[in-house]
């Protein structure tokens, strides 16, 4: 039988690819014992410039060219060179196989942390959480981006870089409003997209007949026009990019395809915006648990764990509101604390836990965590599992900041009623309706001047930012006709209106 000293995988910070494989194998064995279900892993070791490049291209291994990616690359590179920011130790892609990028500058302990965090933490979350299962196609995203890159490059060659860039700029400005929240999108498939593209071009060619151009147009009198006119769309539409793709009177076929590509990309990232706290908390919890299990088994030494715990502590630190580095609640800190707290409630509950969480007390913590991971998003996860103990530890309380009031009011403190109110208000902050303005298409004058009418359902009298008019201009360019946005308030009706026409 080997001694603990003999079982240590390595000492010091040096690593090679064979050692990475050994660590990955051991971490994978422990992860399987805990019941983590993952996609196959594909680990790539890259340089700092490649990591910066991956940052710039929204974290995907391949993407189409756009000036914003170059701008992002330059800003990140300058900040990195001046020491104003660091680089992530890893980047992980929601794909099958799951692609994880490791920085070549990392020490061996940090490479192991990245493998545990990304290859088994994030990976299992991508595969298990209901939002990712329903709304993304992990097995097709890389092939689809290859198709998108090739298609947009061909458009640049055929129609000019300026026209393609203008279309992409407009689509990117509307990405937050290019998501289906209630209708499951069709699976991504580069092969299907190519086939659909060819069928559409062939259909357009078959329908073309120059003789129709020579026929006189039939003119309807006003009564007939009025009779035919009806409200369209029959129901408000929140997916602006989809509506533009299908109904824009002026877009050419290649532009519609670009709108579709950006819309598919927005849909791919949709679950990640709703699960930041859960996803990072889950991955952080598992790198902490897996690496501590390795230490308990004698696979790593004290020096290894000192470096791991130093990095881990920095990641889960929650700065105070008066700290220079404060930028809100750290999703790593809150997510990790909640995962750990669920395990504590299952294993070592007190009377308060038994009152607040009777359904999970004394249950197998792995089953409870797995159920939460699979069936919740940030908003519902916080509303269900944030405990009074964590509210006290994070010093959370509620301040009422009514814009018409002269003073702030402390609305919820650390008592029975206050805990519930703090939990409700905090979970509400992760509601997408709070983060993304509720803007819907309510009318398309398809029998008239072809103008488009949108409605912004204002939440708690909050105005849109100054960028709203610029975004409307982008929408108007894609639409080709006048675009009007009405500001609607419950109980008051339309209180404001903005009109934009294409330049």
Task: State residue 492's pLDDT score.
Answer: 87
Task: State residue 84's pLDDT score.
Answer: 41
Task: State residue 87's pLDDT score.
Answer: 43
The whole-angstrom distance between residue 211's C-alpha and the CA centroid of its chain comes to 50
412 forms beta bridges with 398
Q: 441-468 in b/e burial notation, b at 16+ Cβ within 10 A?
A: bbbbbbeeebbbbbbbebeeeeebeeeb
Report how far residue 342's alpha carbon sits from residue 345's, in angstroms, rounded to the nearest whole number: 5
Report how far residue 254's alpha carbon sits from residue 21's, in angstroms, rounded to the nearest whole number: 45
Q: Judge contact between 413 and 444, C-beta under 8 A.
A: no
Task: State residue 85's pLDDT score.
Answer: 43
Contacts of range 461-467, beta carbons closer than 8 Å, 24 or more positions apart: 461/403, 461/489, 464/437
Task: State residue 79's pLDDT score.
Answer: 52
User: What would the two tokens of residue 482 be?
Assistant: 């006048």
The 10s digit of each residue's pLDDT in 292-323 is: 999 999 999 999 999 999 999 999 999 988 88
Task: List the chain residues with pLDDT less than 70.
Answer: 1-6, 52-62, 64-90, 183-229, 403
Task: State residue 405's pLDDT score.
Answer: 74
Q: Cα dihedral sign for 413, 419, 420, 425?
A: positive
Task: State residue 219's pLDDT score.
Answer: 55
Domain residue ranges in the chain: 17-129+275-307, 316-433, 435-500
Phi-psi region of 83 (alpha: psi -120 to 50; beta: other; left: phi over 0): left
pTM (two decimals): 0.84
The 10s digit of each residue's pLDDT in 102-157 is: 989 899 999 999 999 999 999 999 999 999 998 888 888 888 888 988 999 999 99
Q: Judge contact between 99 and 93, C-beta under 8 A.
A: yes
Task: State residue 39's pLDDT score.
Answer: 96
Report how far residue 254's alpha carbon sits from residue 351's, in angstroms, rounded to the nearest whole number: 64
Burial class (CB in 10 A: 0-12, 13-18, 19+), 22: middle
Report how far residue 401's alpha carbon sits from residue 403's, in angstroms, rounded to the nearest whole number: 6
Report how far residue 117's alpha carbon sits from residue 113's, in angstroms, rounded to the nearest whole number: 6
Q: Judge contact between 472 and 483, C-beta under 8 A.
A: yes
Q: Residue 373 contacts by C-beta under 8 Å, 6 or more apart in sequence?
A: 124, 125, 128, 129, 278, 282
Q: Tell me whether strands 452-457 and 483-489 are parallel, antiparallel or unpaired.
A: parallel
């Amino acid at each position: 039988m080997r001694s603990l000293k003999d079982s240590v995988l390595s000492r010091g910070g040096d690593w090679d690819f064979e050692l990475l494989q050994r660590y990955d194998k051991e971490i994978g064995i422990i992860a399987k014992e805990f019941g983590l279900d993952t996609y196959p892993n594909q680990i790539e070791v890259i340089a700092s410039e490649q990591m910066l490049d991956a940052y710039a291209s929204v974290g995907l291994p391949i993407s189409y060219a756009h000036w914003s990616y170059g701008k992002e690359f330059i800003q990140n590179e300058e900040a990195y060179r001046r020491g104003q920011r660091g680089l992530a130790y890893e980047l992980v892609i929601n794909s099958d196989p799951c692609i994880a990028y490791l920085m070549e500058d990392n020490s061996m302990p940090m490479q192991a942390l990245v493998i545990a965090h990304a290859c088994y933490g994030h990976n299992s979350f991508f595969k298990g959480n209901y939002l990712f299962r329903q709304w993304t196609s992990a097995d097709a995203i890389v092939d689809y981006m290859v198709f998108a890159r090739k298609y947009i490059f061909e458009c640049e060659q055929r129609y000019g870089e300026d026209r393609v860039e203008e279309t992409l700029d407009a689509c990117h400005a509307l990405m937050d409003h290019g998501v289906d929240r209630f209708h499951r999108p069709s699976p991504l498939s580069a092969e299907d997209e190519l086939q659909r593209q060819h069928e559409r071009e062939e259909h357009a060619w078959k329908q073309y007949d120059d003789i129709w151009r020579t026929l006189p147009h039939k003119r309807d009198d006003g009564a007939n026009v009025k009779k035919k006119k009806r409200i369209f769309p029959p129901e408000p539409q929140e997916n602006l990019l989809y509506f533009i793709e299908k109904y824009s009177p002026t877009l050419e076929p290649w532009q519609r395809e670009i709108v579709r590509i950006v819309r598919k990309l927005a849909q791919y990232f949709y679950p990640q915006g709703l699960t930041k706290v859960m996803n990072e908390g889950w991955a952080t919890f598992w790198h902490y648990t897996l690496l501590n299990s390795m230490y308990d088994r004698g696979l790593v030494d004290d020096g290894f764990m000192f470096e791991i715990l130093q990095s881990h502590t920095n990641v889960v630190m929650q700065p105070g509101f008066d700290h220079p580095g404060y930028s809100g609640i750290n999703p790593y800190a809150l997510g990790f604390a909640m995962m750990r707290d669920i395990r504590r409630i299952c294993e070592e509950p007190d009377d308060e836990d038994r009152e607040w969480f009777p359904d999970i007390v004394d249950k197998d913590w792995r089953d409870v965590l797995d159920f939460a991971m699979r069936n919740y998003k940030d908003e519902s996860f916080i509303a269900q599992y944030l405990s009074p103990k964590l509210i006290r530890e994070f010093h959370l309380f509620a301040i009422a900041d009514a814009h018409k009031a002269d003073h702030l009011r402390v609305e919820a403190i650390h008592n029975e009623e206050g805990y519930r109110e703090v939990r409700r208000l905090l979970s509400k902050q992760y509601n997408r309706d709070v983060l993304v303005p509720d803007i819907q298409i309510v009318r398309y004058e398809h029998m008239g001047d072809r103008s488009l009418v949108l409605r912004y359902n204002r939440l708690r009298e909050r105005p849109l930012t100054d960028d709203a008019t610029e975004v409307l201009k982008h929408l108007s360019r894609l639409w080709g006709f006048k675009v009007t946005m009405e500001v609607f308030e419950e109980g008051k009706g339309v209180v404001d209106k903005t009109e934009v026409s294409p330049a």
